[in-house]
Chains A and B, each alone.
Chain A
Amino acid sequence: MAIIDLANPSRFLTFVNRVLPWLAAATLLLFVLGLYRAMGAPDDYQQGATVKIMFLHVPAAWLGMMGWGLMSVAALGTLVWRHPLADVAGKAAAPIGAAFTFICLVTGSLWGRPTWGTYWVWDARLTSMLVLLLLYLGVMALYWTAEDPGRGSRAAAVLSLVGAVNLPIIKFSVDWWNTLHQPASIFRMGGSAIAPSILWPLLIMAGAFTLLFFTLHLAAMRNEILRRRVRSMRMMQAQELAEAAE
């Protein structure tokens, strides 16, 4: 099957049904390995065992941002090419991205209390991440409350593109402003500042969370395609009933 064939919803469903069990199994395996390595990782010399929260917090932050990036690309597909699968991809990614952003904020708060002495501070990194969660909720509201799904989708796509401005703000907030949140320590000039004994479990957990994201996203896209079929069949049935009554 060529990649272009996947642009057809029926073929896409066949592809998802074939791929999903393998993706779910790979996700589970990587989580078992990641958690085993994470639980066996040494304590940090300053933070002690609370560094184990990083194995959840950092992947959740990356995926919260990646989810919005994916929605922005899908928004281009919706607004420029008006492709229905692009809209399906954007709508399916919103709750998953919101959930990962929520995990990032909660685990960060639980990490901040023993490390910084506070659950929350209005610094640029934390605030921009909270803005991302609010943007996710806004997009979900547009998708799910619009009376006309087409108009809701276009409005959500516009918000997805406008909200993408927040992604570089989140990434560079620790460089542009004086924040309590630490600066980048993994992807930075001069290499990672984290010891390999902690970095490797982190990267495996990030891989596991990424596979989980795509597994859930494909499954949610399949649900959305089926939901649209249900809607079109309901409308068709209502039209037939109206014609029969005339």
Chain B
Amino acid sequence: MNLGPHADFIVAAYAVTVFVVAALIAWVVLDYSAQRRILGDFEERGVTRRSRRSSQ
């Protein structure tokens, strides 16, 4: 595939997009595991939400 005389601009545009999308995916995945870990710690210590307590 020949990207012509402006190949640098095309490659830079795709690189920036890949970087930003990868950062978004990493943010969502890492945030999810962080929240799950904190909630797991609470449950291990026996701290539960009021709504769950009332249903038990």
Contacts and interface: CB of A to CB of B under 8 A. Distances in A.
* Interaction A to B: yes
B32 A222 contact: yes
A107 B42 CA distance: 44
B16 A43 contact: no
Given A49-B7, A233-B39, 12 more contacts: A48-B5, A50-B6, A52-B10, A95-B24, A103-B17, A111-B13, A216-B24, A219-B32, A220-B31, A226-B32, A229-B49, A236-B47
A236 B27 CA distance: 27
A107 to B, nearest CB: 4
Contacts of B24: 95-96, 99, 216
Interface of A: 39, 43, 48-50, 52-53, 56-57, 60, 95-96, 99, 102-103, 106-107, 110-111, 113-114, 212, 216, 219-220, 222-223, 226-227, 229-230, 232-233, 236-237
A69 B6 CA distance: 35
A230 B37 CA distance: 10
Interface residues of B, number: 33
A110 B39 contact: no
B13 A216 contact: no
Interface in B14-56: 14, 16-17, 20-21, 23-25, 27-29, 31-32, 35-36, 38-39, 42, 47-50
Interface of B: 1-7, 9-10, 12-14, 16-17, 20-21, 23-25, 27-29, 31-32, 35-36, 38-39, 42, 47-50
B17 A49 contact: no
Contacts of A96: 24
Nearest to A40: B1
